[in-house]
Amino acid sequence: MAYSHDLLYQLSLVLVLFLPAFALAQTSSNGTVEVNSSLTATDNDTPARWLSPSEDFAFGFRKVNEDTDQFLLSIWYNKIPDRTIVWFPNDGNAVSRGSRVQLTADRGLVVTDPKGKQLWNSGTISDQDQVSHALFNDTGNFQLLSSDSTKLWESFSYPTDTLLPTQIMQTGGVLYSRLNKNYFSRGRFQLRLLEDGNLVLNTREILTDFAYKAYYISGTYDPSNVSNSDLGSGACGYNSLCRLDDSGRPVCQCAPGYSLVDPDDMLSNCKPNISLGCDDNNGQNSGKDLYELLEIKNANWPTSDFERMVPITDEECKNSCLSDCFCAAAAYDGTSCWKKKLPLSFGRQGSAERGSVHIKVKKGERTSHSPKDSSRNKDHGTLILVGSVLFGSSMFFNFIIICASCLGFLSIYLKNPPKAGPGNSIVEIMRSFTYKELSEATKGFTEELGRGAFGIVYKGIVQMSTSKTIIAVKKLDRVTRETDNEFKTEVNAIAITHHKNLVRLVGFCVEEENRLLVYEYMVNGSLSCFLFGEVKPSWTQRSHIAFGIARGLAYLHEECNTQIIHCDIKPQNILLDEYYNARISDFRLAKLLMINQSRTKTAIRGTKGYVAPEWFKSTPITVKVDVYSFGVMLLEIICCRRNAEDLDENGSEGNILTDWIWDCFEEGRLDNAVKIDEEVGLIEWEEVERFVMIGIWCIQEDPSLRPTMRKVTQMLERVVDVPQPPCPFLYSLK
């Protein structure tokens, strides 16, 4: 009997010890989950999950990837090695470690962050039909049921990027591709079941959700009824070609003579490296002198035809395209010539395309896989030949060859010596406009785009190469020794740069007392107007702009041949192109550092509110002054508020944004300072908090504590973690 009692005691002890493990699962063998059950996001070997009866599917938190501390609430195949995710809520927004999902009676599934703030819920349940339990069945459908088993919510009704067997897509339903492998926000492709029952696959504009014309249609209605007004670019961007790799996945590549608008996005549109516009001679010009046609086998842009010529020979087809400035490419099928105009859309390449297409490129410009490689191989062969001669000859003969080579290089150097100053050589390779040309281009300087202490900017149109180009002309309103020096500084600074996040200088004018700078025109104006206008920009747009500014500054500080300190970073000096890419402008106050120089002494430069504290001390100036200005502007981008203005209706918080943000951050009430739109999910809020910490690091009064712009870009891009920032006001009375 004693033995029996001991055995019972041991069994009861085992049950007690294992009870927490059973409680953690909180699901029965039939897939039932009770109300108030919860899961917490951790990175244990076995993730927090609820299982379907067969354990084929799991519901819970999955780590997005090993390089981040972010988790995704999702449903996945539990027995497949890579645990393929088939469903996720909240537009794919990840959550931080310690976040929790709980099944509640009145709100269904509720996701909260580690501080208890609600991030997502499956929907408010009525008082009459509250959730009794959840049922996770073997089809992968997670259902919320009432006490009488009425279905109140189910994951099958909210598909993301996958349809499971037995899952039905209702009319009006849509599936979105992921943005990329590890980022589950909605991507560029969508599969829609329209109200008329037609299933279509199309691309979309990510920021506005505008749906382009479908490139797959199930054909359940007359395709001739489709409007051509929403013509899109196909699986890849405009002016690119789509082919399938060995695994059957699409690969996008710009056409020869074209380059990506966004080098970081292989699916983005491609732009021509040269102007293919027309002059005023009825669309005809001497194109044969400027261009040549490059053949691309098994390729076509089937929707870009604008003219068919028949009967015609292949040579006549190519000559016709060369002499027609509207023609960007031509395809010949043996009898007919199809001339194609920009933008080239729905491009595809593969064995299914039996013909070839000839694309117009600038003479001498070829793709890297043809003449460049051959010339490189030729150069390599020349080196081998020279080496063979040198090593196979007598010592005396080698000496003669080396001496002759040195004399030859010396002769070339003396005939073409490098220019003494960086500005002189730069100016010579840019276009010099006459004052009359720019006066006519701007219609007598009548259409004003903006003005500042340096001068006024006007809109104009000039003839550039074979097309008319919209420009922005900055005209100095007065010429003094100081402004003339600033003019030269701006020309020298911008002319030696080449980066997608810097404004491009087209040319200049130096004529008597006139000083003018000619820039490419930025259609969306300044960041100041965009950020502080009546309509609040989306967080996606603002974060995209912040990334661009950071990359541009990192280039100026570390990647440019001559290190440049901008000295006047502020929203008024950030321009936005047609794709809302940030372009840093106005280099009139910039300092160019010599090689191996990292700091300089100079008079105070910049704009009040963005000027770093070291400007007011007798200490050398470094690139960290730009980091400080960027930090102030980053906080403005986050809050859509100027640094110097009243921040609440009562005015009790003061009028300096940087001070107020630090107070809110330190006191844990950042949501009072940053009013994020309702549709912004958790991943955006996590990004907002990270951006705020980066901004606080950038505005540290001690320059040595500020990160470099390279480090800033890495923190923005989540390449490195952002540590908790200290109080930035070390030397203030605050």
Inform me whether the pLDDT recorded for 62 exceeds 70.
Answer: yes
DSSP, res 151? E
Which of 51-55, 249-253, 341-345 tops mean pLDDT? Answer: 51-55
Comparison of pLDDT for 47 and 669, the residue scoring more? 669
Comparison of pLDDT for 263 and 7, the residue scoring more? 263
Which of 423, 441, 421, 425 lies closest to 433, judged by CA? 441
Quick check: 515 and 509 in contact, CB under 8 A? yes
Which of 224, 263, 344, 228 lies closest to 296, judged by CA? 344
* Residues annotated as catalytic (active site), given as ranges: 568
Q: What is the model's pLDDT at position 376?
A: 37
Q: Which residues contact 212 (CB under 8 A, 6 or more apart)?
A: 202, 203, 204, 205, 230, 231, 232, 233
Kindly indicate the confidence band of residue 167, based on its pLDDT and cuts at 50, 70 and 90: very high
Kindly indicate the confidence band of residue 673, based on its pLDDT and cuts at 50, 70 and 90: confident
pLDDT in tens, 417-460: 333 333 333 444 568 889 999 999 999 999 888 876 667 889 99
User: 3-state DSSP: the chain helix, strand, coil percent, rounded to 5?
Assistant: 30, 25, 45
Kindly indicate the confidence band of residue 9, based on its pLDDT and cuts at 50, 70 and 90: very low
Q: Return the minimum-mean-pLDDT range out of 134-138, 215-219, 595-599, 728-732.
A: 595-599
Name the residue ranges covered by the structural domains of the chain: 25-157, 242-367, 423-520, 527-716
Which of 459, 586, 433 lies closest to 523, judged by CA? 459
Rounded CA-CA distance 639/657 in Å is: 9
Comparison of pLDDT for 90 and 461, the residue scoring more? 461
The average pLDDT across 511-517 equals: 84
Kindly indicate the confidence band of residue 666, based on its pLDDT and cuts at 50, 70 and 90: confident
Which of 235, 238, 261, 262 lies closest to 350, judged by CA? 235
Q: What is the model's pLDDT at position 631?
A: 96
pLDDT in tens, 595-619: 344 444 454 555 777 888 887 776 7
What's the Cα-to-Cα distance from 42 to each of 216, 586, 723, rounded to whole Å?
Answer: 41, 48, 21
The average pLDDT across 32-42 equals: 93
Tell me the two tokens of residue 351: 């064995």
Tell me the two tokens of residue 37: 């059950």
Inform me whether the pLDDT recorded for 652 exceeds 60.
Answer: no
Rounded CA-CA distance 75/59 in Å is: 5
Comparison of pLDDT for 36 and 666, the residue scoring more? 36
Inform me whether the pLDDT recorded for 297 exceeds 80.
Answer: yes
pLDDT in tens, 193-252: 988 788 999 887 665 677 777 778 887 754 444 433 354 556 777 888 988 887 777 788
Tell me the two tokens of residue 457: 């900017």
The pair phi, psi for residue 651, each rounded to 5°, is 70, 15
Inform me whether the pLDDT recorded for 266 exceeds 50.
Answer: yes
Q: Which top CATH class is 423-520?
A: alpha beta
What is the pLDDT of the chain when averaged over all its residues? 76
Q: What is the model's pLDDT at position 395?
A: 39
Inform me whether the pLDDT recorded for 160 exceeds 60.
Answer: yes
The CATH classification of domain 527-716, taken from the options 2.60.120.10, 3.40.190.100, 3.40.50.2300, 1.10.510.10 = 1.10.510.10
The reply to whether the predicted model has a pTM over 0.85 is no
Q: Return the minimum-mean-pLDDT range out of 119-123, 203-207, 577-581, 625-629.
A: 203-207
Cβ count within 10 A of residue 726: 12
Kindly indicate the confidence band of residue 621, based on its pLDDT and cuts at 50, 70 and 90: confident
Q: What is the model's pLDDT at position 600?
A: 47
Quick check: 103 and 38 in contact, CB under 8 A? yes
Q: What is the model's pLDDT at position 155?
A: 94
Torsion of the alpha carbons at 260, 262, 266 and 271, rounded to the nearest 10: -20
The average pLDDT across 377-392 equals: 37
Query: 455 has which bridge partners?
Result: 476
What's the Cα-to-Cα distance from 7 to each of 3, 12, 21, rounded to whole Å?
Answer: 6, 9, 22
Q: What is the model's pLDDT at position 196?
A: 77
Rounded CA-CA distance 137/51 in Å is: 9
Segments of 257-405 assigned E as strands? 258-260, 270-272, 291-297, 299-300, 305-309, 329-332, 337-340, 348-349, 356-362
| Cis bond before residue 311 (omega within 30° of 0) | yes
Q: What is the model's pLDDT at position 650?
A: 45
Q: Which residues contact 66 (CB under 8 A, 6 or more apart)?
A: none
The pair phi, psi for residue 607, each rounded to 5°, is -120, 140
Q: Return the minimum-mean-pLDDT range out of 7-11, 41-45, 186-190, 194-198.
A: 7-11
DSSP, res 704? G
Inform me whether the pLDDT recorded for 547 exceeds 90.
Answer: yes
Q: Name the CATH superfamily housing domain 25-157.
A: Bulb-type lectin domain (2.90.10.10)
Q: What is the model's pLDDT at position 420?
A: 34
SS3 274: coil
Rounded CA-CA distance 612/608 in Å is: 9
Burial classification of residue 94, based on how many CB atoms lie within 10 Å of its CB (0-12 exposed, 13-18 middle, 19 or more buried): buried
State what percent of residues in the chain have pLDDT above 90.
Answer: 24
Kindly indicate the confidence band of residue 674, based on its pLDDT and cuts at 50, 70 and 90: confident
Q: Is the dihedral of CA 653, 654, 659, 660 positive or negative?
A: positive
Q: What is the model's pLDDT at position 20?
A: 36
pLDDT in tens, 519-545: 889 989 899 999 988 888 888 889 999
pLDDT in tens, 73-86: 999 999 887 778 99
Rounded CA-CA distance 475/477 in Å is: 6
Tell me the two tokens of residue 55: 């354990």
| Cis bond before residue 343 (omega within 30° of 0) | yes
Distance of CA 113 to the CA centre of its chain: 27
